[in-house]
Amino acid sequence: MTTSTATERVLFAENVLLKALLGWYVLFWAVMAIAPLDRPFWMLTNVLPFVLVATLVATHRAYPLSDVSYLVITVFLTLHAIGAHYTYTNVPFGFWLEDVLGFHRNHFDRIVHFSFGFLIIYPFRELLIRSARITGFWAYALPVSTVMACAGLWEVLESWIARMFRPELGLNALGAQGDIWDAQRDMAAALYGALLCTLLIVAARQLLDDDDDDAEEEPELEAALGD
Amino acid sequence: MRTSPFWHNRLHQGLLGWYLLLWIALAISPVNRHDWLLENLLTFLTVALLIATYRRFPFSDLSYILITIFMSLHAIGAHYTYEQVPLGFWLKDALELNRNHFDRIVHFAFGLLLAYPIRELFVRTAHVRGSWTYIIPVVILLALSGFFEIIEAWVAQIVSPELGDAYLGTQGDIWDAQKDMTAAFSGAVISMGAAAIWSGRRRGRAAAREGQRRRILPPL
């Protein structure tokens, strides 16, 4: 399985894992598409997955991502497909958590926000390292920033959609469940996910003592700061 | 070094002098002392950081000017708890708005004014070229803006509710956080768009000059 810093990529035709991931997602998505709780909501929440999958398919030849990136994207899209099917606020797992841990709301959406930070930071990091060629400190700070920026942009987008289509719902629109701090909590969840994944990447690099590492260029950053 | 040390630099002395004077004047009797203190926590941190890194990492003059303008706007906002800035009231009357928009202006200014210093920091330490040097500052600004909204929410939940609302400055708007982030994002996009066009034109002019010079050079 190729990682973000690996020097090679295996294209779809010869990549069993990629075929399995695509097969799994298409199948799962089809099942979740059969009788969603709220069809208009389901359509709305599926616009972005549709765009994302189309982009990934279209760019696969010219810009193949690592296997790990495709894997985490699939996990995230799977979680999102579940949320879209149940309008997020009615996901059974969230109700179960509510009962077991004594929450006063369905926390499934927050879990997916956390997952967005925890999972999607990996492809972001791959994209930034390979295309922008960032190294050292920036190779850790910028992926976190990108997750935060996307989380913020997402909240802005949500608020536009809510005001455009269902202004009468106010804070009950789009899974805020009446919480005035919903946007901030969602962004914080994504941030925690991103930070946790970054810590894991740092720890993994320490343990594995990677040689094709970009961290060895860190002295360059120090030099630049000093000049 | 790109800029000379502080004691030889009239511009830097002027900027710091101006800011200190303004800050002291606005610190004398703020509308709400506790809110003023809260608003100034980040100010202390930023100024301390800029002074501490002055020798090791001096910013360009333009960056220091932009930072000073932003800090001045924030000092005015902190003095009046943002909600009661006279300019905002005047705008409210003149443009028939339903709230004091000074805080939104400063969020916009955050993106517009600080994208350039952030770009400078990024370009000089990351050795990145091309369009990424304009995209990444926008990403960082939007991320900082979102992070600031999170901090605001924490502070508002920790301190007493009525002060929380003053500090938060939502003025009863449930979409306040999203609008603030949109303002900062728009400011950053405008600033980086202008920087990209400016540097493109400068490169174009330099190329044209180069062409001219070649034509008028005497043959060897």
Query: How far apart are the C-alpha atoms of B64 and B4, rounded to whole Å?
Result: 13
Tell me whether B52 touches chain A (CB under 8 Å).
Answer: no
Higher pLDDT, A176 or B61: B61
User: Which of B57, B174, B175 has the CB atom closest to A225's CB atom?
Assistant: B57
Average pLDDT, integer, range B57-72: 94
Give the mutation candidate from A127, A142, A186 for the B interface (greatest B CB count, under 10 A).
A142
Place of tokens 């710091």: B16
Smallest Cβ distance to B181: which of A152, A170, A220?
A: A152
pLDDT of B165 strictly over 90: no
Q: How far is CA A158 from CA A48, A135, A175, B138, B178, in A?
A: 12, 33, 10, 20, 9
pLDDT at A60 over 60: yes
**Which has the closest alpha carbon to B35: B2, B71, B82?**
B82
B104 at interface of A, judged by CB pairs closer than 8 A: no
CB contact under 8 A, A183 and B177: yes
Highest mean pLDDT among A87-91, B3-7, B54-58: B54-58
Q: What is residue A215's predicted lDDT score, i.e. its pLDDT?
A: 45
Among A74-78, B67-71, B75-79, the range scoring the smallest mean pLDDT is B75-79
Closest among A134, A143, A128 to A214, alpha carbons compared = A134
Task: Calculate ∠ Cα A192-A196-A198, nearest 5°.
Answer: 115
The yes-or-no verdict on residue A174 having pLDDT over 60 is no
Q: Does pLDDT of B146 surpass 60?
A: yes
Average predicted confidence (pLDDT) for chain B: 86
Residue carrying the six token digits 């701090």? A181
More confident residue, B110 or A101: B110
Residues 6 or more apart from A47 whose CB is under 8 A from it?
none
Q: Which residue of A has its CA nearest to B121?
A: A225
- Lowest mean pLDDT of A3-17, A90-104, A169-183, B138-152, name the range: A169-183
- Looking at beta carbons, which pairs linking B9-17 to residues 24 or more positions away fall under 8 Å? B11/B61, B11/B64, B11/B65, B12/B61, B12/B64, B15/B64, B15/B65, B15/B68
Least CB-CB distance to B146: which of A158, A171, A187? Answer: A187
User: Is any Cβ of chain A less than 8 angstroms from the Cβ of B39?
Assistant: no
> How far is the C-alpha of A89 from the C-alpha of A94, rounded, in Å?
8
A21-25, A87-91, B53-57 — most confident range: A21-25
Report the SS3 class of residue B103. Answer: helix
Q: Are A98 and A105 in contact (CB under 8 A)?
A: yes
What pLDDT does A170 receive?
Answer: 53
In the predicted model, what is the mean pLDDT of residues B193-219? 76
What pLDDT does residue A8 have?
82
By CB neighbour count within 10 A (0-12 exposed, 13-18 middle, 19+ buried), where does B82 fall?
buried
- Model-level ipTM above the cut of 0.90: no
Query: What are the tokens at A202?
Result: 């740092």
Give the model confidence (pLDDT) of A192-214 as tens digits.
999 999 999 999 888 887 554 44
- 10 Å Cβ neighbour count for B207? 10
- Whether B127 has its CB under 8 Å from any CB of chain A: the answer is yes
Report whether pLDDT(B195) > 50: yes
> What pLDDT is attached to residue A139?
93
Q: What is the mean pLDDT of chain A?
A: 85
Q: Give the sign of the dihedral formed by CA A214, CA A215, CA A219, CA A225.
A: positive
Cβ contacts of B149 on chain A, cutoff 8 Å: 152, 183-184, 187
Mean pLDDT of B137-158: 90
Q: How far apart are CA A92 and CA A88, in angstroms?
A: 9
Q: Name the pLDDT band for A175 (thresholds 50, 70, 90).
A: low
- Say if residue B62's pLDDT is above 90: yes
Whether the Cβ atoms of residue B11 and residue B61 lie closer than 8 Å to each other: yes
Domain ranges of chain B: 6-195
How far, in Å, CA of A1 to CA of A72, rounded? 13
Cα A159 to Cα A173: distance, rounded to the nearest angstrom? 9
Say how far apart CA B4 and CA B58 lie, in whole Å.
9
B147 in reach of chain A (CB within 8 A): yes
Residue A173 has pLDDT above 60, yes or no: no
Q: Which residues of A touch B (CB under 8 A)?
A: 131-135, 137-138, 142, 144-149, 151-153, 155-156, 158-159, 163, 170-171, 180-181, 183-185, 187-188, 191, 220-221, 224-227
Contact B92, B104 (CB under 8 A): no
Contact yes or no for A75/A115 (Cβ under 8 A): yes
Name which of A183, A220, A225 is nearest B178 (Cβ-Cβ).
A183
d(CA A182, CA A176): 6
Which chain A residues are within 8 Å of B179, Cβ to Cβ?
159
Q: Where are the alpha helices (DSSP H) in chain A?
A: 16-33, 39-45, 47-59, 67-85, 92-101, 108-127, 138-165, 182-208, 218-226
Nearest partner of A224 among B1, B37, B114, judged by Cα: B1
Confirm if B185 and B141 have CB atoms less than 8 A apart.
Answer: yes
Q: At what angle do helices B161-168 and B33-52 cross, to 10 degrees?
A: 50
